[in-house]
Amino acid sequence: MTQRIELVINDRCRTVEVASNTTLLEMLRDQLKFKSVKPGCWRGDCGLCLVLIDGRPIKSCLVLAQELDDREVVTVEGLLDNGNITRLHQSFIEKGALQCGYCTPAFLLASEALLRRNPHPTRERVCESMNGILCRCTGYKQIVDAILAASE
Ligand code: FES
Ligand code: FES
């Protein structure tokens, strides 16, 4: 059974017809073509599908799309500032915090959520906040360094 939902994605109002078993991950990638939202495990383990829902980092494979009626979603595209990269993006580049880039949208979104709540987090706090997002390439140190540098 499908339902029409209205939500805001990256500051733009969208109306989407979604089936009752469609996850937010499937809606974003397959229906709306936000390919930056990455699938990995499809069961909440890898964190690669993370998006912001009403400002909070949430794994989109664990949420049914129909629950998003009247909510606000941000994907990594929504972090750009008038089409330009921000200090956080720049910091990831400068610190070498990405290699293949598959995990990068999730880390950028989780970092953004953390820095909005806590503009000057400790290293421990950054590590805690990135728990649950897997990176197979960088070893994590560069990612944590980039987030700390962006917070200075
Ligand atoms: S695909 Fe969602 S947590 Fe892995
Ligand atoms: S940069 Fe490749 S998985 Fe993180």
Range of the domain at 49: 2-79
Domain boundary among 24, 48, 79: 79
In this structure, are residues 126 and 147 in contact, taking their beta carbons and an 8 Å threshold?
yes
Distance CA 112, CA 90 (A): 13
Q: Are residues 57 and 107 in the same domain?
A: no
Give the pLDDT confidence score for residue 30 in this predicted structure.
98
pLDDT, one tens digit per residue, over 26-85 is 999 999 999 999 999 999 999 999 999 999 999 999 999 999 999 999 999 999 999 999
Give the pLDDT confidence score for residue 107 in this predicted structure.
98
Q: Are residues 75 and 142 in the same domain?
A: no
Q: Whose CA is nearest to atom 3 of ligand 1?
A: 44
- Distance from chain centroid for Cα 88: 13
Q: Is the CB of 96 under 6 A from ligand 1?
A: no
Give the pLDDT confidence score for residue 143 in this predicted structure.
98
Q: Are residues 35 and 93 in the same domain?
A: no
Give the pLDDT confidence score for residue 22 in this predicted structure.
98
Give the pLDDT confidence score for residue 114 in this predicted structure.
98
Nearest ligand by distance to the CA of 43: 1
Domain boundary among 79, 103, 134: 79
pLDDT, one tens digit per residue, over 112-140 is 999 999 999 999 999 999 999 999 999 99
Q: At what angle do helices 123-130 and 141-150 cross, to 10 degrees?
A: 120
Number of structural domains, the chain? 2
Q: Are residues 65 and 35 in the same domain?
A: yes
Distance CA 6, CA 31 (A): 14
Pocket of ligand 2 (CB under 6 A): 98-103, 135-138
Domain boundary among 51, 79, 107: 79
